Chains A and B, each alone.
Chain A
Amino acid sequence: ETGVTQSPTHLIKTRGQQVTLRCSSQSGHNTVSWYQQALGQGPQFIFQYYREEENGRGNFPPRFSGLQFPNYSSELNVNALELDDSALYLCASSLGTEAFFGQGTRLTVV
C-alpha cells in the first residue's frame, strides 16, 4: 500500500463526454502528478501540482486540466473525450526522491 488512493477504479464514458478522476495523496505529500498509461506503454506525464499550483505540464492538450486542493488531494478533468483517451490514469504523490503511485483509474471511452 502506497497511501495514494484513486477513484473510481474503473470508468466507461462515451466519446465527447467529460470525466473527473480523483486522487488522495499520501499524508504530508504536497506534490501530485498525473500520468496516462496506454496499453503496453510506459506512463506519460500529464501535469504536476505543487501547493495547489500547476508546476509543469507534459505534451497534453488543454482539455486535460487539473486541480489540487488545500489538503493536497487532486482531480484530473478531461473534456470532450476521445477514443484515444482510453488508458490507465495514474496519480503519484511525492515529497522528495520517491514517487508513490496509486493503483490507477482504468478509463474506457466508447
Chain B
Amino acid sequence: LAKTTQPISMDSYEGQEVNITCSHNNIATNDYITWYQQFPSQGPRFIIQGYKTKVTNEVASLFIPADRKSSTLSLPRVSLSDTAVYYCLVGEQGADKLIFGTGTRLQVFP
C-alpha cells in the first residue's frame, strides 16, 4: 500500500487560498488519490478524488503532476469553518478499506 506524507499542521487566514501537499512516492498504477475532511467529533467527509492532472469541484481542486508522486489539495478563499483535519489517501478507486494517515490539521484564523 502506498504510504502518504503530509504536513502535520498548517495555519491560514480567512479569505486566503490554502494548498496542502501530499507525498506518495510509491503510488501504484491503479491507485487514485482521495482527500477527506474531518471536523472534531464527526466522521470524515469526502472532498475530492483524482487520478491525474487536475480535478475541480465546488469545494476544492486537486492537482496531480505527471509522475503522480505527489498531489496538492487547493482550498480557495478559506473561511473559519474550513478549520479541520485533512487526510490524503491513496488506493484503488472506491471507498473500500480506506487507509488514513495522521492528516494535516488546518487552522483558519479571522
Contact indicator A33/B97 (Cβ below 8 Å)? yes
Residues from chain A with Cβ under 8 Å of B49 in the complex: 97-98
Task: State the Cβ distance, B69 to closest chain A Cβ, in Å.
Answer: 21
Contact indicator B98/A99 (Cβ below 8 Å)? yes
Interface of A is mostly: strand
Number of A-B contacts (CB under 8 A): 67
A104 at interface, CB cutoff 8 A? yes
A99 and B42 in contact (CB under 8 A), knowing A42-B103, A94-B95?
A: no
Contact indicator B43/A104 (Cβ below 8 Å)? yes
Contact indicator A58/B42 (Cβ below 8 Å)? no
Report B's interface with A, CB cutoff 8 A: 41-46, 49, 87, 93-103
A-B contact pairs, 22 of them (CB 8 A): A2-B43, A2-B45, A31-B96, A33-B95, A33-B96, A42-B101, A42-B102, A43-B44, A45-B98, A56-B96, A58-B97, A88-B41, A98-B49, A99-B44, A99-B95, A101-B43, A103-B41, A103-B42, A103-B43, A104-B41, A104-B42, A106-B41
